[in-house]
Amino acid sequence: MNASRALIQVDLDPLWAVRQCYGLTGAPPGASAPADPVWDRAVPAFLELFDAFGLKASFFVVGRDTTHPRCRGRLTEIMTAGHEVANHTQSHRIDLLSMADPSLSAEIDEAQERLTQVCGRAPLGFRAPGYAMNPRLFEAVAQRQFLYDASVLPTAWGWALRTVARLIALKSQNRHGQYGHGPVGQAPLKPYRPDPLNFLRPITADSEEKPLWEIPVTVTPGWRLPFHAGIAMALGRTYFRRSLHSVAAQLETINFVFHGVDLLDLRDDAPARGALAGRLFGQSLPKKKAEAAFMLEAIQAHYAFERADHWARRNRGPAPNPLRQPSPGRGITEK
Ligand SMILES: [Zn+2]
């Protein structure tokens, strides 16, 4: 069987969070579900798409969405279909890294509590909003019972992505750390077990630390260009094909990320202002569905799909035993 694995993840950012980030017009920020189109229309579209490929994905959910019955029903559908529900903080604050410790912890814990209550099991994965990660947040995540974090976007182009977001939003916001910053651009491209003292480096020896994995959002080797679905939809199939070619040549495990709006026709719900926003958000649903299926098909030619928590558990290795020599199955699996 093909040893290469593609972990497929969906950030279920509700439309209010997308508006907050990109300044799209429509209902005011904070006007979340019951009629949020991400929960109403995008989730069923994702379930249908993934079912067609027989793949099990990970859905990152914002805790405060669970107050709405519609969202709770959808979460049940997601779980019944065999997908994973993961923690995407309580309220998707793009200024998360600037928050004081207690508020930052509450953002993780409240979502964890809500999702555990609704899903009947505790989420095992975490992703910060906007891929924003720093040592303080990482420590908070590592102290908790997660199997993996998937917040690191190891691109050197974070500044460009922040600029695009600013241009679309037509306003400046506190985007500190969004899309990664500085040293995050140098983090490993493959999943790694982070050094507790520096989350951007893999541990160098067998360790009895908690078996937390960092599963970075995949970028291309070399240029470290973004490789997630939204970018690929905006830049077209040639960009995607070239990126996949270089990714598949070097990375045995990839983390390919969709966002809720990737399977949503946003033209009615959140009209985009300007040509750039139009290119990113103005595509029809049939076109988006076709592009998403094209991407998964192309990925499937190189990789077998696996749920991120299953992957993390499978690669956990045997329990640490100080009387034994370090097992080769544990530690870094940079292959
Ligand atoms: Zn998000």
Q: What would the pLDDT profile of 184-212 be if each residue is shown by its tens digit?
A: 888 999 999 998 888 999 987 665 655 79
pLDDT of residue 335: 37
| Per-residue pLDDT, 29 | 45
CA of 90 to the centre of ligand 1 (A): 11
Residue 319 pLDDT grade (very low, low, confident, very high; cuts 50, 70, 90): very low
CA of 146 to the centre of ligand 1 (A): 18
pLDDT for the residue 159:
67
Q: Please name the fold of domain 5-314.
A: TIM Barrel (3.20.20)
Q: Which is higher by pLDDT, 45 or 267?
A: 45
User: Which is nearest to 38 in space by CA: 10, 80, 2?
Assistant: 10
What was the pLDDT predicted at 294? 97
The alpha carbon of 10 and the centre of ligand 1 are apart by a number of angstroms equal to 9
For residue 7, the model assigns a pLDDT of 98
254 C-alpha to ligand 1 centroid (Å)? 19
**How many Cβ atoms from other residues are within 10 Å of residue 216's Cβ?**
28
> How sure is the predictor about 229, in pLDDT bands with cuts at 50, 70 and 90?
very high
Report which of 22, 1, 2, 5 is spatially closest to residue 279, judged by C-alpha positions. 22
Distance 179 CA to ligand 1 centre (A): 11
Examine the pLDDT at 330 and tell me if it is beyond 60. no
Whole-number Å distance, alpha carbon 223 to ligand 1 midpoint, is 24
- Distance from Cα 155 to the centre of ligand 1, integer Å: 17
d(CA 263, CA 217): 19
Residue 14 C-alpha to ligand 1 middle, in angstroms? 8
Distance between Cα 92 and ligand 1 center (Å): 6
pTM score, whole prediction? 0.86
- What pLDDT score does 255 carry? 98
Per-residue pLDDT reduced to its tens digit, 134-189: 999 999 999 999 999 999 999 877 766 666 666 655 555 555 556 656 678 889 99
* Closest C-alpha to 194, from 175, 178, 183, 209: 209
| 322 CA from centroid of ligand 1 (Å) | 40
What 3 state SS string does 26-46 have?
CCCCCCCCCCCHHHHHHHHHH
For the chain, the distance separating the N- and C-terminal CA atoms, rounded to the nearest angstrom, is 17
Distance, CA 129 to ligand 1 centroid (Å)?
4
What DSSP element (H or E) covers 60? strand 58-61
pLDDT for the residue 251: 97
Q: Mean pLDDT across the stretch 15-41?
A: 68
pLDDT tens, 77-119?
999 999 999 999 999 998 999 999 999 999 999 999 999 999 9
Q: Give the DSSP per-residue string, 283-307.
A: --HHHHHHHHHHHHHHHHTT-EE--
> Is pLDDT of 261 > 50?
yes
